[in-house]
Chains A and B, each alone.
Chain A
Amino acid sequence: MSQAFEQQCRERILAASAGAPLLIQGGGSKAFYGRPVQGEILDTRSHRGVVAYEPTELVVTVKAGTPLAELEAVLAEKGQYLAFEPPHFGSEATVGGMVAAGLSGPRRAQAGAVRDFVLGVRLMDGQGQALNFGGQVMKNVAGYDVPRLMAGSLGQLGLLLEVSLKVLPRPVAEATLRLETSQAKALTLMNQWGGKPLPIVATAWEKTGEGESLTVRLAGARAAVQSAQAVLGGDVLERGAAAAFWDDLREQRLPFFPAAGSFGATGSAGGPALWRLSLPSTAPTLELPGPQLVEWGGAQRWLASDAQARHVREVVEKAGGHATLFRGTAEAREQAFHPLAAPLLAIHRRLRASFDPRGAFAAGRLYEGL
């Protein structure tokens, strides 16, 4: 099965060219993300299934087209999970797409990102060669860390065939608290808490019709969660409501996030664009038009705004961060990612040329002409 799939991919990759490239796609759930690109779809979804899973090794190896939900269910059966809590953005999301998009969920600040959990990959490069990097072990420094480089590469380096991920036991206890507070105060609190040995695994500040609130999720040993609850105070959210809140945040279903599809370009009739601002957690409240939602202890901030892209980027860059136009019209997404300094762009260009010298995979998802 795998062999047949790989053979098909090889043939299609060899038949493709820069003029008629392939666009790698899993469930298409993250097609909105990055610069708009054209290409003949190479669908990975027939390449699915868990290749190896040994809970005691804390490692799972899956084919790239496996539905993310299916993988999560397999892990849950053994009391384990993907600690970086990846967003799905639709039931069709695949594991390969999750790695290629490199997006992590509410737990990221504490648990780490997708890239921190990628241990190994089997990929097909632009010359149709199936290559293995990394493996199923926790530590591996033989050769450059290609597996982690694939996280967030958005199909620009090669086709993911299989990935090995580190998994963790689910925490024994969890609790979610909510405190009324302004954004500035929330930022101060989150940074103070971050410096203490508290089992905080996620935070979210938002302003709703009901006011401004900071929601905090604790997880870990029962005793640790209980004592932290006493330290932090606030109202305890009921379990079901808490789980729904964090799911809705991860999947961008909270009222802050307008329905997918309704996002427009900056200043267009379609409504505001959704920006993802990645900042040092200590960056102060940013003066930008439009509502914000703050996650990751202050390090990830969502902004729904009509502001000019250039303005948003200037403000964010001054604060030490970078801004991604996460959801918007195709036109606005022409510059989805923060511009790179010239030497880095040159490295990107050469990297891409070494992984895909013939341009078999549709270029330009990250940067124009790359």
Chain B
Amino acid sequence: MGDRLPDSPDFATDRAALLAGLGRILPASRLYGELEDLKPYECDGLTAYRNLPLAVALPETEAEVQSILKFCSANQVPVVPRGAATGLSGGAMPHHQGLLLSLAKFKKILKVNPVARTALVQPGVRNLAVSEAAAPYNLYYAPDPSSQIACTIGGNVSENSGGVHCLKYGLTVHNVLQVRGYTMEGEPVTIGSAGLDAAGLDLLAVMNGSEGMLTVITEVLVKLTPKPQVAKVVLAYFDSVTKAGNAVADVIAAGIIPAGLEMMDKAATHAVEPYVQAGYDLEAEAVLLCESDGTPEEVEEEIAAMRAVLEKSGATSLRVSANEAERLRFWAGRKAAFPAVGRITPDYLCMDGTIPRKNLAKMLLAIADMEKKYGLRCANVFHAGDGNLHPLIMYDANQPGELERATAFGAEILELSVALGGSITGEHGVGVEKITQMCAQFTPEELALFHGLKAAFDPAGLLNPGKAVPTPARCREYRQIRGEQA
């Protein structure tokens, strides 16, 4: 689809010189420059946006990463880091005048330290692989994005990824102790420490969610969490999404912090059930998954409290997982929601707005109206406890106008998220997808500070340029159009 990075400056990269230069650093088997080899790298999980890079490099060592960055820095070549490319906002979409730097070969788990409860891993290690390596010690890595079988730790840090258990156990930012990597100039940096804090400003906080724009990550030290003795999940069905939305606020109001609190509407359960046979009630308008974990006594106590609240909030029926297999099956449905929806529609856009929990019901009703307005269906999957919405807007890119309608539908949801006191993205990042909506959430001065922050790490602006933070020109145009509409 050609140039999709209007927010990036132009780079006059000489393709032949780039390949020749990198050829001195990498063997031909780990350096691609031919169209057929570049094609698989043209997009991430946001397939609507594609761009071919000039070259793809697959370094294996830190020394190679450093040399590549130094070369690109000296020659003004933009670099886009890439993990597993499961990202949903185009963060790893290549730059058409630059290098795609894949960290896929960095997949060693360097050390699991059961006493310190940490794992030292390379950035290309898959999220689930960390928990698997920690399992023999009854430990696990808490943030569990639904993409955990595929997505990498480097990508997780860069997006500050969340999962269904983040309400109680925190996001990636709460579970990463130290990151090592290289600045665009090829300078080695160690950010954070093996302790609980590091000297100086909290740069580790900004590394999380930095969308591959601050440094290339080559090693991550993550915190491991002891596995709870027991976990049980309550399925609560509702005959209206409003009641389900309000039940979420009621659970929190009762002083309960569930280990997970997720919601799916009828469209979502209908997509999921034939795909994974989770055993969901298909008559209900919405289902909540409310999990408790801890000691057996603790879980009994909490499940009873949850049941009481959910019943009072109008649940039509409740079901508690009888055993671990059933609990996993209930979650499997939730975790497979995206691919399940992918089976029933040619294409879909996944939104990621967050709103204060009290506005969940309001948002759901507004989305129902938008379905009519845009003539498109939408399935809703929420990290409800965190107020993080994933409306899945279904469309068919082959039908003229549908992608545009889907995009407008998504934009309206995001702008409503901001208007309801929330944010345009809770965990998927801005990337190229939501760059226009950044103009709705931030003032020109705030955006200028973001540009300044990036420049502090990457003064030449070569690392993943044109993503996440819009140019002033884009926002001026955005405001002008909005002004005309108003």
State whether these chains interact: yes
Query: Which A residues fall within an 8 A CB radius of B?
Result: 54-59, 79, 102, 108-109, 112-113, 115-116, 125, 129, 131-133, 135-146, 148-149, 151-153, 156-157, 168-169, 191-192, 194-199, 220-224, 226-227, 278-282, 296, 299-300, 320-322, 324, 337-341, 343-344, 346-348, 350-351, 353-355, 366-367
* Nearest opposing residue in chain A for B158, CB measure: A141
Complex contact A139–B187 (CB within 8 A): no
Task: Tell me which of A140, A223, A341, A366 contacts B190 (CB under 8 A).
Answer: A341
B170 at the interface (CB under 8 A from A): yes
Which residues on A sit within 8 Å (CB–CB) of B454? 144
B430 at the interface (CB under 8 A from A): yes
Which residues on B sit within 8 Å (CB–CB) of A113? 196-197
A354, chain B: closest CB distance, angstroms: 3
Decide: A354 near B456, CB < 8 A? Known: A137-B354, A144-B450: yes
Task: Tell me which of A125, A278, A350, A351 contacts B195 (CB under 8 A).
Answer: A278
13 A-B interface contacts by CB (under 8 A): A54-B356, A113-B196, A141-B425, A169-B256, A195-B115, A195-B117, A223-B298, A223-B301, A280-B194, A322-B199, A344-B189, A348-B200, A354-B452
Decide: A321 near B449, CB < 8 A? Known: A144-B454, A340-B200, A344-B200: no
Decide: A139 near B426, CB < 8 A? Known: A223-B301, A350-B459: yes
* Nearest opposing residue in chain B for A221, CB measure: B298
Q: How many A-B residue pairs have CB under 8 A?
A: 257
B252 at the interface (CB under 8 A from A): yes
Complex contact B257–A148 (CB within 8 A): no
Decide: A115 near B294, CB < 8 A? Known: A57-B357, A355-B452: no
B139 at the interface (CB under 8 A from A): yes
* Nearest opposing residue in chain B for A103, CB measure: B197
Which residues on B sit within 8 Å (CB–CB) of A133? 446
Complex contact B199–A324 (CB within 8 A): yes
Complex contact A144–B434 (CB within 8 A): no
Task: Tell me which of A54, A135, A144, A282 contacts B209 (CB under 8 A).
Answer: A144
Query: Which B residues fall within an 8 A CB radius of A?
Result: 113-117, 137-139, 159-160, 162, 166-167, 170-171, 173-174, 183, 187-191, 193-203, 205-206, 208-210, 214, 226-229, 249, 252-253, 255-257, 294-295, 297-298, 300-302, 354-358, 383, 386-388, 421-430, 434, 438, 441-443, 445-447, 449-450, 452-457, 459, 468-469
Complex contact B449–A355 (CB within 8 A): yes
Decide: A138 near B138, CB < 8 A? Known: A56-B253, A58-B252, A221-B298: no
Complex contact B449–A146 (CB within 8 A): yes
* Nearest opposing residue in chain A for B196, CB measure: A299
| C-alpha gap A227/B230 in the complex (Å) | 14
Task: Tell me which of A55, A129, A142, A355 contacts B438 (CB under 8 A).
Answer: A142
Known: A58-B252, A139-B162. 16 other contacts (CB 8 A): A59-B356, A102-B202, A115-B205, A142-B430, A148-B205, A191-B115, A195-B137, A196-B138, A224-B295, A280-B194, A282-B116, A320-B194, A348-B201, A350-B459, A351-B201, A353-B456
Complex contact A151–B205 (CB within 8 A): yes
| C-alpha gap A280/B111 in the complex (Å) | 15
* Nearest opposing residue in chain B for A193, CB measure: B226
